[in-house]
Amino acid sequence: MLLVSVNAAKEAIVAQGEGGSAAHDGRRGRRPNRYPHTVEVQPVAARPTTPRRTPAPFAARDALAADLSAHVRGEVQFGAGDRALYATDSSNYRQLPIGVVRPLDGDDLAETIRVCRDHDAPVTMRGAGTSLAGQAVNTAVVVDVSRHMNRILELDPDRRIARVQPGVILDDLRAAAERYGLTFGPDPATHDRCTLGGMLGNDSCGAHSIMAGRTSDNVESLEVLTYDGLRLTVGRTSDAALAGLCAETGRRGEIYRSLNSLRDRYGAMIRERFPRLPRLVSGYPLGALLPENGFDVARSLIGTEGTCVTILEATVRLVPSPPGRAVLVLGFGDVFEAVDHSPEILATGPIGLEGFDDRLVEACRRKGLNLAAIANLPEGGGWLLVEFGADGAGGAGAKAGAVAERFGSGRARVFTDRAEQAALWSLRESAVGATAVVPGKPPTFPGWEDSAVPPERLGRYMRELDELIGRFGFDRTFYGHFGDGCLHLRTAFDFGTPAGLRDFRAFVEQAADLVVRHGGSLSGEHGDGQARAELLPRMFGPEIVTAFREFKSIWDPRGRMNPGKVVDPLPLDADLRPALPLADPKTIFGFAEDGGSLAAATARCVGVGKCRRESGGAMCPTFQATREERHSTRGRARLLWEMLEGGALPNLWRSDEVREALDLCIACKSCKSECPVGVDVATYKAEFMAHHYAGRLRPRTAYSMGLIHWWAHLARIAPGMANSVGTVPGIAGLAKLVAGVDSHRRLPRFAERTFRQDIPEDVPDLGGARGAEPRVVLFADTFTDGFAPSQGLAALRVLRAAGFSVEVPRADLCCGRPLYDRGFLKQGRRLLGRVLDAFEPELDSGVPVVVLEPSCEAVFHDELPNLFPADPRAKRLDGLVVSLGEFVARNQAAFGPEIRGRLTAPAILHGHCHQKALVGMAAEEAALRSIGLDPAQPEPGCCGMAGAFGFERGDHYELSMKIGERALLPAVRAAEPDALLIADGFSCREQIAQSTGRRPVHLAEVLAMALTDADAETPEPAR
Ligand SMILES: Cc1cc2nc3c(=O)[nH]c(=O)nc-3n(C[C@H](O)[C@H](O)[C@H](O)COP(=O)(O)OP(=O)(O)OC[C@H]3O[C@@H](n4cnc5c(N)ncnc54)[C@H](O)[C@@H]3O)c2cc1C
Ligand code: SF4
């Protein structure tokens, strides 16, 4: 990626924005950049860009869009933002589609193809877009089947088959099959978001392919559609059936006759030239047409990457899923020693055999990912992860134990606990994202990430490949499906210089020759796409490549299905996304982890699509609720990237497409902690909104909710009057309308007396207890002070009971939380500047600062250092700020005797999403356990309210309720009447109270109930 100065017009826009005047010192000049090949200011003419293919613009786009809209029932999206959103997958390539269509069902998809055919428009099918070789992007009409065509049509446990639409997510099928003790065997690391259509397109494999084979090994039949409109079901074809089909007149007969002829002419060559290995995924699988393979037309189409036909439906085979599982981890001196042992382990009959090196482990350590799994690894510099299956856990454990014994306890560890096993698997599965962007290292890319050789040759091949990598001076990480001979790596290519681009091509060509010398395949599971298609003649020879071309033209004579991929390919170094120049405008936030560059920050997203999973984590609640790419972390990061690239979205900060996508981001910060490359959309959103609205009127809620600190200040004068605005019929409705608050919501009530008004006189101001030990500062944040003084008073009581000299700052200090999401960054910075000034005399004392509102605590850890990167006070205050739960956990000796384990009520704990993303819930849970509670946590993510987001009219309110109703609100309604509902976030409590009528409390109030000197029994039930 190249960073170039913004052009004059863009500069003008930036200058109007807050960034023009408010940017802090020290970040304006050249900054060190994470990307060694990037330069901030470079004349455009001198850019060493990648060869950019310039396909003839599709002249009739408007007519095509109109025709599609008239005939397709699903969504037809031809806007600039829609096209930008689908311009990339998880590969290095970027191609702007003509437009996007999301059909509702098979008939709708057929209609889509018909209209495209009428306009002679090329078509590219797409599932989750996690392909790594560029086969899910194209200058074509992209047809996204993941949005609507995701139904399991039939699951027959007796016949062990399932009939699915192509957009079904693999894990959904696996979950449905598990009810009958069955599973779909191939399981890519993307199993929680990849689609069956994509798996069929790529012939995907996975960790359990040594047990269950590739996708193509597990397919009974396919219903397919040709570009010219023929719909047919294909599978194995007996000789008699083949003869009958060949005798047919019409398009079907023509296809079968041509396939038959192709098979006859190339059969001998196919037998001779196709390497024999478990992971042969490159090229078209023409061997499926050989008589010994039953003339299996379905198999011959699997792995053709959408270049031949559209798959409308698939009937797939299910296999027994061993109910008992055990994972054995073996540690070796290095990854080469590990791979040398894989044939011996393979002979013991595992169901999964994976390997990885210490660079993956180091990358995870640096990023704080998968730490529990890393702690469980035996000593070593390379590891094998081996899974055994059996009817019961005991049987699997015994198999694993027997193998472990050979290596001794120092090198081998067996795990039978499912949670520990899952953690180890996620360590291995996170490899792509975890190693893509690592602090202090150059970014790594796919390109030669998926070669395969016969498993017994993997050790030699890996060593020679490592030598080759060394000769080019690249950094790399090795991991993969060692049991199947499939090797993954990410390589630190330099796409930013002509020499780097030349090296990229030279390396890939030499690596291809190397893998061919070892009898291997260019691709072991990811497919060829654009990344490897050009190399196919090196592997198969020109005659077989001619056979591939013939095969494609049998199905797609006009060459309109995913053109430029696999057959007649585009150059492997054309359209490289990381080589494209980006504007790098001035920013208000520091973006220190990205060398001060928003462009580098947005380039973090490598498209792995973890934010597209629908459960199993907090990221991304808005995608989980909408299933819309634009409302995923990836979608938002990509649109911002496109905005900086400028080709598709030329208006920089004024882009309405970007605003629309960011508008529904609830700024929960889940992506900051869960995205494997640390994409931080909440911060990007705040930065964008600051510039987007600079000098313009913002939406009403920006003023009514964003400026809550000032409203609370005013309400202190006459709280009763302020509250009546929100409650008196007629006035309340009008007030909500003016404030942009949804009619279903109640306006939050100001407290009659604020926390600071009610503080006992003997509680000193900030600095007032200097000399007394132990000291602690309790911060009176805007929410505690103006809306929930009871939690402040409870915290005061608890802290003092434990013997702390508590100080409460009396000055009107606010961290500015509600301002950031609305882009009021200048105002937020001003408030934080006042906080820094107030705390300055105390910063060296090391006095802890307890902050009760989690979103305010998050400001001190996140926005504060990011807005004041050059001010050492910011870092010091960040280090002093702590939540009440964490403070209790750190000072158990003081709190232990004062609070006792006598609360017996059932409890539900809901962590604020900023709390979960930045500090975690462990300390709070420990504090609650110490008083006898055993809280359930039904929702891993956001409650939906997300500050003021859920108060806002229309789509914000609706999305808020959708998110809340996923898990939290139903769990609250189902909770026993005497259950304690604990939520530290003011907005989370509002969501729960307004949507269920129950009354949640803050941790401080729960701890106060448990004080030994309190006369409290189990508290009043929360209702
Ligand atoms: C982090 C990461 C880990 C991965 N790990 C693995 C792994 O362990 N094993 C593995 O095999 N792969 C892996 N992959 C690659 C990728 O996830 C798989 O190939 C996956 O199956 C692709 O599914 P998708 O829904 O994202 O498909 P997409 O990328 O959307 O599409 C894949 C191909 O299928 C075609 N296609 C989609 N739907 C249809 C249809 N209805 N008709 C015709 N063609 C269609 C597309 O045109 C495209 O060519 C990994 C990728 C990432 C980013
Ligand atoms: S901040 Fe939350 S809602 Fe916004 S993109 Fe990240 S995970 Fe999604």
Its pTM stands at 0.91
Share of the chain above pLDDT 70, in %: 92
d(CA 215, CA 46): 46
Residue 433 reports pLDDT greater than 90: no
In sign, the C-alpha dihedral spanning 885, 882, 1001, 798 is positive
For residue 312, the ligand 1 atom closest to its alpha carbon is 41
* Confidence (pLDDT) at 23: 37
Residue 69 reports pLDDT greater than 70: yes
Residue 294, token pair as written in the block: 């039953």
Residue nearest atom 6 of ligand 2, based on CA coordinates: 671
Residue 12 reports pLDDT greater than 50: no
d(CA 831, CA 939): 33
* Confidence (pLDDT) at 954: 87
CA 904, 921, 854: angle at the middle one, nearest 5? Answer: 105
Phi, psi of 121 (to 5 degrees): -95, 135
* Distance from residue 202's CA to the centre of ligand 1 (Å): 6
With b for 16 or more beta-carbon neighbours within 10 A and e for fewer, the 731-760 pattern comes to ebeebbeebbbbeebebbbbbeebbbeebe
* Distance from residue 1012's CA to the centre of ligand 1 (Å): 59
Share of the chain above pLDDT 90, in %: 81
Q: In this predicted model, what pLDDT tens digit does every residue of 723-771 receive, in sequence order?
A: 776 666 677 777 787 778 888 998 888 899 999 999 999 999 999 988 8
Nearest to 921 by CA among 905, 943, 940, 903: 940
Q: In this predicted model, what pLDDT tens digit does every residue of 805-826 receive, in sequence order?
A: 999 999 999 999 999 989 999 9
Where in 15-127 does DSSP place strands (E)?
75-77, 99-102, 123-126
For residue 89, the ligand 1 atom closest to its alpha carbon is 29
User: 242 or 435: which carries more pLDDT confidence?
Assistant: 242
Q: Is 136 in the pocket of ligand 1 (CB under 6 A)?
A: yes
Residue nearest atom 44 of ligand 1, based on CA coordinates: 306
Residue 554 reports pLDDT greater than 80: yes
d(CA 507, CA 675): 30
Per-residue three-class SS string for 937-986: CCCCCCCCCCCCHHHECCHHHHHHHHHHHHCHHHHHHHCCCCCEEEECCH
Per-residue three-class SS string for 820-860: HCCCCHHHHHHHHHHHHHHHHHHCCCCCCEEECCHHHHHHH
Which range has the worst mean pLDDT, 241-255, 931-945, 973-987?
931-945
Cα–chain center distance at 400 = 33
Residue nearest atom 2 of ligand 2, based on CA coordinates: 668
Residue 1022 reports pLDDT greater than 50: no
* Distance from residue 90's CA to the centre of ligand 1 (Å): 9
Residue 248 reports pLDDT greater than 90: yes
For 521-528, what is the mean pLDDT? 97
Q: With bands split at pLDDT 50, 70 and 90, how would you rate the model's confidence at 150?
A: very high
Q: Is 619 in the pocket of ligand 2 (CB under 6 A)?
A: yes
Q: In this predicted model, what pLDDT tens digit does every residue of 828-869 receive, in sequence order?
A: 999 999 999 999 999 999 999 999 999 999 999 999 999 999
What DSSP string describes 708-775?
HHHHHHHHTT-HHHHHHHHHSTTHHHHHHHHHTB-TTSPPPPPPSS-HHHHS-TTSPPTTTTTT-SSE
For residue 670, the ligand 2 atom closest to its alpha carbon is 7
Ligand nearest to the CA of 663: 2
Helices (H) and strands (E) in the chain, counts: 48, 26
Burial class (CB within 10 angstroms; exposed 0-12, middle 13-18, buried 19+) of 420: middle
d(CA 972, CA 967): 9
* Distance from residue 441's CA to the centre of ligand 2 (Å): 26
Q: Is 921 in the pocket of ligand 2 (CB under 6 A)?
A: no
What DSSP string describes 146-176?
TTT---EEEEETTTTEEEE-TT-BHHHHHHH
* Distance from residue 970's CA to the centre of ligand 1 (Å): 35
Ligand nearest to the CA of 821: 2
For 970-982, what is the mean pLDDT? 95
Ligand nearest to the CA of 629: 2
For 631-656, what is the mean pLDDT? 96
For residue 124, the ligand 1 atom closest to its alpha carbon is 47
For residue 913, the ligand 2 atom closest to its alpha carbon is 2
d(CA 647, CA 662): 19
Those residues whose C-beta lies under 8 Å from the C-beta of residue 414, and which sit 6 or more positions away, are 326, 327, 328, 397, 400, 401, 404
Residue 106 reports pLDDT greater than 60: yes
Residue 212, token pair as written in the block: 């269950």
d(CA 898, CA 476): 54
Residue 869, token pair as written in the block: 């990167």
* Distance from residue 634's CA to the centre of ligand 2 (Å): 10
For residue 674, the ligand 2 atom closest to its alpha carbon is 7
Name the DSSP letter for residue 29.
S
* Confidence (pLDDT) at 768: 93
Q: Is 225 in the pocket of ligand 1 (CB under 6 A)?
A: no
- Residue reference for tokens 């030994």: 1012
Residue 786 reports pLDDT greater than 70: yes
* Confidence (pLDDT) at 392: 80
Residue 424 reports pLDDT greater than 60: yes
Q: With bands split at pLDDT 50, 70 and 90, how would you rate the model's confidence at 685?
A: very high
Residue 244 reports pLDDT greater than 60: yes
Chain mean pLDDT for the chain = 90
Question: For helices 498-517 and 458-472, what crossing angle results, to 10°?
Answer: 160
Residue 30 reports pLDDT greater than 50: no
User: 899 or 46: which carries more pLDDT confidence?
Assistant: 899
* Distance from residue 403's CA to the centre of ligand 1 (Å): 34
* Distance from residue 1015's CA to the centre of ligand 1 (Å): 61
Residue nearest atom 7 of ligand 2, based on CA coordinates: 620
* Confidence (pLDDT) at 57: 66
Residue nearest atom 35 of ligand 1, based on CA coordinates: 201
Q: Express the helix, strand and coil content of the chain in percent, nearest 5 each.
A: 45, 15, 40
* Distance from residue 198's CA to the centre of ligand 1 (Å): 4
Q: Is 605 in the pocket of ligand 1 (CB under 6 A)?
A: no
* Distance from residue 623's CA to the centre of ligand 2 (Å): 9
- Tell me the pairing of strands 775-779 and 805-807: parallel
